[in-house]
Structure 1
Amino acid sequence: MNFLPTLIGCFAKPVAENPTVVMMEAAFRHHGLHYLYVNMEVSPENLADAVRGAKAQGYVGFNCSLPHKVAVIEHLDGLGESARLIGAVNCAVKRGDQWIGENTDGKGFLNSLQEVADPNGQHVVILGAGGAARAIAVELALAGARKFTIVNRSEDRGMELTTHVTRNTPAAAVFAPWTGPFAIPEDAGVVVNATSIGLYPDVDVMPEIDLATLKPEMVVADVIPNPPYTRLFNEAENLGCKVLDGLGMLVNQGATNIEYWAGVSPDKGVMREALARLFG
């Protein structure tokens, strides 16, 4: 028997209790996978060496976070479809003798959304225009969402994402400046907070939207995992909306990573429970 664990890297700044490490290790234990998820800090100037080291040491893959999601592409052999369209990689997978970059951020959100609603044909309002917003927009567009409204305070960044979606996916997209409480369009089916507004410790704040324009038939999602139940989540739930917390996206993202690396569909309940314990 081989007692050496299969290695998976995470090129991110280590913290005392990294949520991804917690949920991944919980899944490995539950399924009896002899895998080790190693969290390490890699500076930008050492990224190339870190990737070469992962390859040389027999890793089956690795995750990477900012600031490496774009820079890592030049060190890989190819990209999955959504990673190519998003222009960023958070998951590298060894397939044969090649290393392929994938992006599981948007896939994690898509899988979470599909548990309560079908994105096909939906008008999706996305608050924010950063990396999470880009990944979510591309993945939902590939899943059949028909229209996006990108709401952002910076017009340049908002227009860049709007143009990217329109040019590179089958969906249409429009930009809406975020200059005050944003009124959600009546035909919107999904509203996504893809900003960091409401992230711990700033738990009393929420994205500036007109709550009166939220309708019970809408899905309101928050990508923030800590706290799982943000002020936006609670307000939308009180209005009768279908709600999604950030744990769903994080869990589904991690589950997709494990499927890529180990060929196993992990128990998402085990992963979510581990995160719920971590976040109290």
Structure 2
Amino acid sequence: MTLLLIASNARYGMMFADCRISGDDGILEDDHAKIAQLELANVRLLFAYTGLTYTLDHQFRTDHFLASAINEYLQPDVTAEHALQVIGARLTQIFQSSPAILALRPAHRRLTVYFVGFEGGQPLIGTLSNFENLDGTGERLRDTFWRRMIRPTVDAPIAMASGNINSVQIGDVDALRLLMRDEKPLHAVVAKATEILDAAAHDPRSKNTIGANVLYGLIMADEKQASRCEFVCNTGGQLTPVIPIIKPQQSIIAFKMALHSVEPTPPKQRPNERCSCGSGKKYKKCHGRDQRL
């Protein structure tokens, strides 16, 4: 399952997702865009999922399904509550009828979709899930997808972790919330969130199922400020997922988008210098160690 961090206050909403898939077919670095943006007339939401990514025969893919459901079944002027109701109903229908999904073990049929953003300038966090209890705990599989919406405030921002959370420290998530409550600079909040995911990825309890690469999305209350997407790549490679924007009733939507980039040759570093990757370690004990080997 994907590890998600969701954070929201009156000024912005954020989502962070690790980029690794684990299942019966092994562990893979994931180039799926697990975060996307939904735009309605009065609603702007980032959304991300944890749980079932696709069936082994690829007859069902969560990112494709969500994009199609938004495009085909939502009207541009609906409320956030109605949008979640429609998407949840479609998920319930497909999970109750798809042979490919029904053939999966119950643990592999779990799926939770989170939404974070703004409706009429007011912050909200929405949830659709077929396994978590209403308090966000438990893993009992349900026959239907339930939904929940909560509204963060200036005095009560919200930060939560979901999905592959066994190696996440509750105190770290609370520290993220306090940074938002105290209106610390945005870069400090982002740094703390990526630190939480990085620590979870390297924790032995995660059993290598959490990826070191992080996809991050930011949406602002001020509509004049564009949403932001960043990909923190700690493993090298040249494939960078980006966040697609999906609008109902559009003839063309992007199920998956990626930027291919060529990494420049890094300048030569001295052994005792801080590694340029930002880990804080000396080069000889970080990426320089591979050079010595």
TM > 0.5? no
Relative CO higher for 1 or 2, CA cutoff 8 Å, sep ≥ 6?
Answer: 2
Instruction: Tell me which protein shows more helix as a share of its residues.
Output: 1
Instruction: Tell me which protein shows more strand as a share of its residues.
Output: 2
Query: What is the TM-score normalised by the length of structure 1?
Result: 0.28
Query: What is the TM-score normalised by the length of structure 2?
Result: 0.27
